[in-house]
Each structure stands twice: as C-alpha cells, then as structure tokens.
C-alpha cells in the first residue's frame, strides 16, 4: 500500500495537483480507492470521498461546492460525473475500462504503471486539511466539513485504546469511505 500510494502521489504531482487541491474519489470499495486516498493525502491534497450510490445531482453538488480539480472513478460511475458543468474539474482518472474512456479521461492503471514508487511525503501542518466529508443533506443542502491532519491522532488513539488494535492486527471498516462513518471521526476545521 505504501508503494502504490506513493505512485499515486506522483501521478497527482505529474498533473499539477498539489497542497490543498481537492481530489474527488468516486468508486466502490476496491484497492485502488484506498491507494488513491492515501496518495492524495501524501501529496498534501484534500481527499473528497463520494458515496458510490450518489447519482449525478449529488455528485455535481459536492464536486462543485468543493472545487475539486480531479476525480478518480470507474467506468461504471463515470457517467454520473457531469465534467462539462464543472469548470474547476481538470482531470478525470478512470480505474479500469481500457477502450471505454471519454475524451480527456486519464487511464489510472497506465499512469500508475509509469509512476515512481518513491515519493517524499508533502509536509503539512497539524491544522492543514486532508479530508472533506459531506453530510447526506437529509436536513437541507449537504454541508462539507474539512478535517485536519491533527485528527489522525484521534483516529490512532481510538484504534489503540478503544479497539485495542496492535501492530499485527488487521482492521476493516465495512462502511463506504464516501459515507461520513467510512473514514473515521476527528476534529473539524471548517465547513463550506
């Protein structure tokens, strides 16, 4: 996972995605989702996970409001991304689906094959955001909440003290990362 997430951080670097840029992640729970998420965080960009059951309007609202510059998706979900209505969205990375890409889409696996496994993690401050989670919108327009890197301390403490996870343990959360419980809770920095 370390090598693959490094590779994806290098892919983002190649395409000019940097610190504080928003990167949407819209796919089912597969290894590429987690590689992309961790690579985005290593790059210093802000991951914007989107629930795979979202339809076009929900995807549009969250990408527009977040100002996402890139998104990672699959051929099955690609048609729900109205890229032509999102002027800030510059790059659509598609995991799989060789031969079915839309004009301008970038084949994720091809980029990963060419990317270096070496990456020096972008330095961030504890207050810098790494994650933008959007609420469901059950009570009106969905709100995005930025989570700061300092929240990783809370996740670590919860894993250690509450879940009693040890070095060789394996933990799997079955919740979708695009749903607010799928990543973990930490302190928020701001809403949009």
Q: 92 near 70, Cβ under 8 Å?
A: yes
Per-residue pLDDT band at 181 (split at 50, 70, 90): low
121/145 Cα distance (integer angstroms): 24
Q: Computed over its alpha carbons, how large is the radius of gyration of the chain?
A: 16
Output the pLDDT for position 2.
96
Q: Which residue has the higher pLDDT, 188 or 165?
A: 165
CA-based nearest residue to 191, from 127, 130, 132, 125: 132
What is the model's pLDDT at position 182?
55
Kindly report the pTM of this predicted structure: 0.88
Q: CA 145, CA 161: separation in Å to the nearest integer?
A: 26
CA neighbor of 150 nearest in space, from 189, 179, 97: 189
* The pLDDT of residue 100: 74
Give percent above pLDDT 90 in the chain: 65
pLDDT of the residue at 136? 67
CA angle at 123 for the pair 178 and 22, rounded to the nearest 5°: 35
Residue 175 contacts by C-beta under 8 Å, 6 or more apart in sequence? 181, 182
Instruction: Return the sign of the alpha-carbon dihedral for residues 58, 184, 33, 192.
Output: positive
Q: What is d(CA 103, CA 29) in angstroms, rounded to the nearest whole number? A: 26
Q: pLDDT tens-digit profile of 83-134?
A: 999 999 999 999 987 667 888 999 999 999 999 999 999 999 999 999 998 8
Which one is predicted more confidently, 160 or 73?
Answer: 73
Domains of the chain: 1-192 (3.40.50.12780)
Q: 3-27 pLDDT, tens per residue?
A: 999 999 999 999 999 999 999 999 9
């Amino acid at each position: 996972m370390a090598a693959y997430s490094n590779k994806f951080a290098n892919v983002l670097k190649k395409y000019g995605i940097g610190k504080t840029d928003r990167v949407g992640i819209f796919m089912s729970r597969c290894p590429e989702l987690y590689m992309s998420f961790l690579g985005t965080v290593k790059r210093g960009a802000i991951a914007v996970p989107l629930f795979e059951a979202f339809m076009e309007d929900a995807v549009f609202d969250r990408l527009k409001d977040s100002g996402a510059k890139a998104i990672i998706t699959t051929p099955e979900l690609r048609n729900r991304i109205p890229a032509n209505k999102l002027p800030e969205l510059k790059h659509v990375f598609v995991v799989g689906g060789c031969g079915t890409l839309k004009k301008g889409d970038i084949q994720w696996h091809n980029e990963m094959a060419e990317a270096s496994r070496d990456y020096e993690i972008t330095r961030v401050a504890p207050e810098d955001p790494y994650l933008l989670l959007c609420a469901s919108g059950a009570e009106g327009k969905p709100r995005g909440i930025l989570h700061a890197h300092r929240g990783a301390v809370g996740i670590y403490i919860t894993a250690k003290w509450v879940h009693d996870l040890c070095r060789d343990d394996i933990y799997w959360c079955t919740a979708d990362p695009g749903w607010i419980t799928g990543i973990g809770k930490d302190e928020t920095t701001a809403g949009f």
